[in-house]
Amino acid sequence: MIYERSFLTGISILLYLWKVAEFIYLYQIKEYRFDRIKSTINEHSFLKILYSFSLKMPAKKPRNAILLLLAIVASVDIYLIATFLPQMLSFIFLAFIPIYAFAVVSLCVYVTNILAHQKRQSIIAQAITKVHETKTIFIGITGSYGKSSTKEFLYQILSRQFITGKTQANMNTDVGIALNVLQHLHEDTEYFIAEMGAYKIGEITNCCKITPPTYAIITSIGNQHLDLFGSRENLINAKKELLLAVPSNGTIILNRDIHDYEMLIKDTKAHIITFSTTQEADVYATNILIKDTILSATIHTKNQQFEIRTHLIGVHNIANILPCITLALELGIKTETIVKAIAYLDQIKGKLSQSTGINNTTILDDSYNSNESGFISAIQTMEQFPHKKKYIISKGIPELGKEKNDTYNRIISRIKSTSIALLTTDTDFSSETNTQIFASEQLLFDFVNKNSDSDTLILIEGRIHPSLKKRILK
């Protein structure tokens, strides 16, 4: 009896710690935000989150260590209940452990959020002070997708003529921008490019208070994170905050292909310059071609026409390059300098970057993030490769809300016209001829390992678990 009781207590503690680790990992990848957790619950169902078991260890970072320590302290309750609960109720108690673990982790996140908020405000205040002491001109970039690529390309082009700084990686929140200002803004910096992201109204406004933009770029408006915004109108208004922050003597570089263009420009004060890949605009591209790994296009402006060539993978990169050309010309950089810079643009890691992976396969790593436009563009890119077998590995696109089914149907429809197979763990993808749904990432990996060789092309579309990505990239 004592042995059975000790065994049950041990199982209870292990189950609790297992789920604690999973939930800390979940909060970590959702930036410890309750709105993103709520969106995940809406998307996957609370029961599935509670009672699915795939041990995912959180990163080794101070906040996670604090959360784990607090959760371990709370495990005393599990020990006491498991030790003294009547045996006939013990197994029922096991079913409630995941619920308790989620509640404990959520409470700990709430407590640490209070502390983190105070620290963030201190960092932001320091950054604002530093900005006021410089003569740097700030460029803000936002959009549903393409903003990171545009930021990196613009930085490479402007750096040929100006002392330029930028935010690093995807540090596009107010505190992320503030940290980059403190680390990468210097006295002689002439231009500083700040990528700005948002999950709700007001967040881009907060970013603009740190780095007030004289120039602004909106790359695109899609349905990414639509569930968090609540409506497309909210999404548009959130992105529009960047445009409203640009003063009358500033300039806005705006994608004319955005469906809600008229809504975006309403009430803006600054001069607007448009760009497009599908229609005539102030700056637009035609003759977009891929030949022998070279991506090329003809660029038209009001005063001139010229050709650009780049080794970047994916025709969508023309849409990312166009606002860079537009702003560079606005800042007085010569056309020859721009063309030369574009020829030497570096492929961004995780943005269709090419490498060799498992079983000598060719890998297209597009795991930086995922959205409908990027997904379909990646499919088009895969069609340019001669490999006999082509697989897309995807966990799906997060936080699409009510547009998820329609988005997935459009992606599946595009895949069906190719010989490409979609390998996914997201059951919301319809089970079609070209689609295989796996119960776990391990089963997906086993399939890839068994069925791939040197004549296989694998696209990693969107974020997957680091351990799976590591094994595939090898």
Total count of domains within the chain: 3
Hey, which residues does 290 pair with through a beta bridge?
Answer: 295
Residue 402 inside a domain? The answer is yes
Query: Residue 236 sits in a domain of what CATH number?
Result: 3.40.1190.10
285 plus 328 within the same structural domain:
yes
Query: What are the residue ranges in the chain where pLDDT is below 50?
Result: 1
Domain membership of residue 9 (yes or no) is: yes
DSSP state of 314: S
Query: Do residues 296 and 373 share a domain?
Result: no
Please check whether residues 140 and 218 belong to one and the same domain.
Answer: yes
Name the residue among 145, 216, 61 with its Cα closest to residue 372: 145
DSSP 108-128: HHHHHHHHHHHHHHHHHHHHH
Interatomic CA distance for residues 213 and 349, integer angstroms: 27
* 127 domain-assigned: no
Task: Answer yes or no: are the C-beta atoms of 146 and 220 closer than 8 Å.
Answer: yes
Question: Which residues make beta-bridge pairs with 457?
Answer: 362, 390
Q: 243-299: per-residue pLDDT in tens? A: 999 999 999 999 999 999 999 999 999 999 999 999 999 999 999 999 888 999 999
The number of residues making up the chain comes to: 474
256 within 8 A of 275, measured Cβ to Cβ: yes
Per-residue confidence (pLDDT) for residue 54, from 0 to 100: 78
Q: What pLDDT is recorded for position 141?
A: 98
15 and 143 belong to one structural domain: no
Looking at the domain assignment, is residue 128 inside a domain?
no
Cα→Cα distances 268→204, 377, 461, 474, Å: 15, 31, 36, 49
Task: Give yes or no: residues 158 and 256 share one domain.
Answer: yes
Q: What share of the chain is helix, strand, coil (3-state, %, to 5)?
A: 50, 15, 30
At residue 123, the pLDDT reads 98
In a domain? residue 123? no
What are the strands of the beta sheet with 389-394, ordered from one edge? 353-356, 362-366, 456-461, 389-394, 421-424, 435-437
Residues 200 and 251 in one domain: yes
Predicted local distance difference test score (pLDDT) of residue 52: 86
Look at residues 102, 95, 111, 97 and name the one whose alpha carbon lies nearest to residue 25: 102
Strand partners, 276: 284
Mention every residue, 6+ apart, whose C-beta is less than 8 A from residue 428: 396, 404, 405, 408
Domain check: are 233 and 279 in the same one?
yes
The whole domain housing 149 covers 134-343
Q: Is the pTM of this model over 0.95?
A: no
User: Rounded distance, CA 337 to CA 473, Å?
Assistant: 36
Environment class of residue 61 by beta-carbon count within 10 Å: exposed (0-12), middle (13-18) or buried (19+)? exposed
Residue 206 lies in a domain: yes
Given 67, 87, 117, which residue is the final one in a domain?
Answer: 117
With respect to residue 398, please indicate whether it lies within any of the assigned structural domains: yes
Q: Is the domain of 191 the same as that of 274? A: yes
Domain end, chosen from 69, 84, 117, is at 117
Greatest Cα-to-Cα distance within the chain, rounded to the nearest angstrom: 89
- Give pLDDT, residue 57: 87
Please name every residue paired with 371 in a beta bridge, in sequence order, or none if there are none.
none
Phi, psi of 243 (to 5 degrees): -65, -40
Whether residue 393 sits in one domain with residue 317: no
Let me know whether 266 and 321 are in one domain: yes
Q: Which of 303, 307, 260, 264 is nearest to 282 (CA)?
A: 303
Statement to judge: residues 338 and 358 lie in one domain: no
Domain identity same for 328 and 371: no
| CATH code: domain of residue 468 | 3.90.190.20
Query: What confidence score (pLDDT) does residue 5 get?
Result: 61
| Residue 79 forms part of a structural domain | yes
Q: Which of 343, 361, 387 lies at the terminal end of a domain, its last residue?
A: 343
